[in-house]
Structure 1
């Protein structure tokens, strides 16, 4: 009986002792981790808030709610050009780091989080981490983006622009009519118009068939584009966490019109791929000829439609808003275009100095991709001297680094009064301005369609000035607000003008 009592007594106290031991071990582990990440970690010499030294949760939270760029930009003002934003991740705001990270010797490899932009199990030209995988696909389609190819196919883009100008005139007339009838002008969502132009231009030029967005009152591909834009709020999550969250979202919280819009895009892309075997003239045909499977080719086409529609649509509509906001800039632009049109033949619009300045300034402030572009420091590490504070840093291999386009484009030491739309600044651009202007990224992994997007903007803005369609237009709101995800989301999906 005495033995049973002893065993019973020992068993009774075992859970409490075990719980205490586990709790003690947990506290010791957390304390050890805190000491290591704060004082002993290879990045402990890089300044940053304590919470960022200990956990990535601060960065992930601000990425999700859409103010990440603003918050990190403010931290740079406090801590300097190299900032620790997570236990093993740095943000750099000095443009001198662009070349070693993104361009020199091919640039550093993309961070694993880019796989979160894979589509239907396939890595895209944008999302793949493997340079060899990308090279096979990009080599097949790069000729379509050459200067010669763009000039040869510019009529297709001009046709789309002529159609969108007709939409602008019709929408402007309706806005004015509402003002005359009620005293309140009807707002026109130029973001919808800009996206419609962009999807038609990219599809007509690269796929050989226009999507037909300009003819739709509201772009049917918009919900599909918005769904992929929203992926950016989870961009920096580990892939397994991202897939779990995205799976729950798709099943239980689909976006409004998401399925119908995706079906519309699928219904456009599938016949293109099916009918393009052996075709050397189209994006899909060249990928098929390179041996890419039909299903992956469909994915690559959908990714291109998304990127082209979102980025160029945002850039074009933002330019419309700023030209309406500052009519003196619009009038100066109109005068330059009118003078150029008197020449025989008219010059290439990309050679016109003020139009070029307007486009560059528009791309600087619109920032379709405002956040950092993460890369992994190679095993040998990186020694970087930051001119902005005259200090040298050694970054160990395996560190994740990135430079925010937001911090470069809004750097007051490079772009005085950075939040103002001032095309004149580009008429006497400094070397630092040229270096830090990176709307399409930099190096071999920069946007593959940058030349096409640039041509669309030059031809589109020239048409706005040439036709005078923005005469009497007024920008709605004091500024364009966006969610600072990997692909910026315009709040409310609206950039509005009114005509009176």
Structure 2
């Protein structure tokens, strides 16, 4: 009996589907030549989705690159790359646009910010609004930073360590590091009077951090499957608990309230920059002025940027400082060497208890140029990189070549991750070891190679805009502390780094004992 036309149509559709979704991706696609993470990865994203859901991505990808080399296929339309030439350099300085990952995860107030912008031209325009206020020359010379640094260090942070030292008390520094990072950044962003005071206000600090980090277990669904979350909620199935949205709303309300106060301050006191630099909202004022010059101030856009910047600042710098203190606390002889270097500054960092009005801090340029201090921070940023996870991009429409493989089609999701890049033994011998001396004693050739693979701040047009301020803030905290105290580890259980796009200690703690010098 002859087959009917509908049956023939179904058979043809089935054969076409088998070819398109199985035979082509598994055998004929240019990606089929690339080593694959899992037998199913050629034809299905289920494996990599499971790895992300289980929060195992960074170590898993690192293991794959050690096994298979510089490029690995993770899914039918996704690649992980771990090389400089034909990888990091090509992807992040070329015409590779961001993916929806950034919009899904980092949008605030339903409004895009500079970090979430996919279009490179729009991102470049927004970034230029703030590039000067974040530049190294401005950061090192800023009257606002000069005043806020003295206040945050000597009125807030150092008295806590001095009290702990005098009472022989051990102190958990991890959340305090988040507090210092947030307070020092928001003082530059909004001024001392309107920025956070998380160092002294422990209740507010814990409210913020509990809300901020409490949402983390549901980030996978929000980032990778937002449409599924939305559809499920419409039929009464809450994949993401409602309190997660409430936490986001509460944090956004707190942030925009600070923006409103800064707006009122600038409106009522336009000369505050010169009259009272410690209370001048320098970053907010800069972007506000740029928007007014362009097409009028947009409060939601500014607020979205401000929220994104201080959220990134407190988490990344806070985690980095925790690991700096951990590594130094295990090496008293290195603390001594660092203190000897700090004593070459003139003036030196004064002892805690010195009135702020009597303090003249060392020249920020001199602090920045201290070689051992710089090596300690640089090696911590390498070994314990605060943003270890993949940075996603899309291959350009015309296709490209990556890691020696040609004809990779357009629209493929590709990424490098600092966690793997920083563990390249050819650039960083004994990569799991924390060795500041690798930066101090490197040959010019070795130093050049390390810098090529070093990716703590990203690269290209999307390089971290706040790197200069973060470096200044962290170096001043380290310098002020180790000029006046020694530290030793009391409890570092769980110090190993968690998984995630950003990541700190698994145990969310580091307990130290401080002793006055």
TM superposition score normalised by structure 1: 0.83
1:451 deviation in Å?
Answer: 0.9
1:436 alignment partner in structure 2: 453
- Decide whether the 8 Å contact of 1:38 with 1:50 is kept in 2: no
Q: How does 1:94-493 map to 2 (within 5 A)?
A: 94-96=83-85, 97-104=87-94, 107-116=95-104, 117-150=106-139, 151-152=141-142, 153-155=144-146, 156-162=148-154, 163-173=156-166, 176-177=168-169, 186=170, 188-208=171-191, 209-218=194-203, 219=205, 220-227=207-214, 232-234=219-221, 237-241=224-228, 248=238, 251-254=241-244, 263-276=253-266, 282-289=282-289, 290=291, 291-341=296-346, 348-384=366-402, 386=403, 391-429=404-442, 430=446, 431-468=448-485, 470-471=486-487, 473-474=488-489, 476-477=491-492, 480-493=495-508
Cα–Cα, structure 1 residues 149 and 434, in superposed 2: closer, same or farther, change >3 Å? same
Listed one character per residue, the Cα deviations across residues 47-84 of structure 1 (whole Å, up to 9, x for unaligned) are: 11222222222222222222201001111122111110
> In terms of mean alpha carbon deviation, does 84-93 or 428-437 score higher?
428-437
2:40 alignment partner in structure 1: 51
> In terms of mean alpha carbon deviation, does 135-144 or 354-363 score higher?
135-144
Bigger Cα Rg: 1
Listed one character per residue, the Cα deviations across residues 139-193 of structure 1 (whole Å, up to 9, x for unaligned) are: 222221123321223312232122212222234455x24xxxxxxxx4x321211
Listed one character per residue, the Cα deviations across residues 400-428 of structure 1 (whole Å, up to 9, x for unaligned) are: 21111100112222212212111001113
2:351 alignment partner in structure 1: none
Cα RMSD, aligned residues only? 3.2
Asked if 1:87 corresponds to 2:87, the answer is no
- Decide whether the 8 Å contact of 1:365 with 1:419 is kept in 2: yes
Cα–Cα, structure 1 residues 332 and 241, in superposed 2: closer, same or farther, change >3 Å? farther
- Distance in 2 between residues matched to 1:35 and 1:415, nearest whole Å: 41
TM superposition score normalised by structure 2: 0.80
Listed one character per residue, the Cα deviations across residues 347-384 of structure 1 (whole Å, up to 9, x for unaligned) are: 61121111110010111122221111111111232224
- Distance in 2 between residues matched to 1:246 and 1:195, nearest whole Å: 34
What runs of 5+ residues in structure 1 fail to find an aligned partner? 1-17, 178-185
1:476 deviation in Å?
Answer: 2.2
Cα–Cα, structure 1 residues 381 and 331, in superposed 2: closer, same or farther, change >3 Å? same
1:221 deviation in Å?
Answer: 2.2
- Distance in 1 between residues matched to 2:339 and 2:245, nearest whole Å: 41
- Distance in 2 between residues matched to 1:56 and 1:168, nearest whole Å: 49
Cα–Cα, structure 1 residues 411 and 228, in superposed 2: closer, same or farther, change >3 Å? farther
> In terms of mean alpha carbon deviation, does 95-104 or 486-495 score higher?
486-495
SS of equivalent residue, structure 1 residue 383: strand
- Decide whether the 8 Å contact of 2:384 with 2:497 is kept in 1: no
> In terms of mean alpha carbon deviation, does 162-171 or 344-353 score higher?
344-353
- Decide whether the 8 Å contact of 2:495 with 2:507 is kept in 1: no
- Distance in 1 between residues matched to 2:10 and 2:172, nearest whole Å: 59
SS of equivalent residue, structure 1 residue 254: helix
- Distance in 2 between residues matched to 1:446 and 1:432, nearest whole Å: 19
What runs of 5+ residues in structure 2 fail to find an aligned partner? 1-5, 274-280, 349-360
1:440 deviation in Å?
Answer: 1.0
> In terms of mean alpha carbon deviation, does 286-295 or 240-249 score higher?
240-249
- Decide whether the 8 Å contact of 1:110 with 1:374 is kept in 2: yes
- Distance in 2 between residues matched to 1:232 and 1:293, nearest whole Å: 28
> In terms of mean alpha carbon deviation, does 113-122 or 126-135 score higher?
126-135
1:492 deviation in Å?
Answer: 3.9
Cα–Cα, structure 1 residues 236 and 339, in superposed 2: closer, same or farther, change >3 Å? same
SS of equivalent residue, structure 1 residue 43: helix
- Decide whether the 8 Å contact of 2:396 with 2:411 is kept in 1: yes
- Decide whether the 8 Å contact of 1:370 with 1:404 is kept in 2: yes
> In terms of mean alpha carbon deviation, does 338-347 or 190-199 score higher?
338-347
- Decide whether the 8 Å contact of 1:273 with 1:294 is kept in 2: no
- Decide whether the 8 Å contact of 1:91 with 1:401 is kept in 2: yes
Q: How many matched pairs?
A: 463
2:3 alignment partner in structure 1: none
Q: How does 1:56-71 map to 2 (within 5 A)?
A: 56-71=45-60
SS of equivalent residue, structure 2 residue 244: coil
Listed one character per residue, the Cα deviations across residues 255-309 of structure 1 (whole Å, up to 9, x for unaligned) are: 9977665554444333224544596863223333313411222222112121111
1:12 alignment partner in structure 2: none
- Distance in 1 between residues matched to 2:419 and 2:113, nearest whole Å: 25
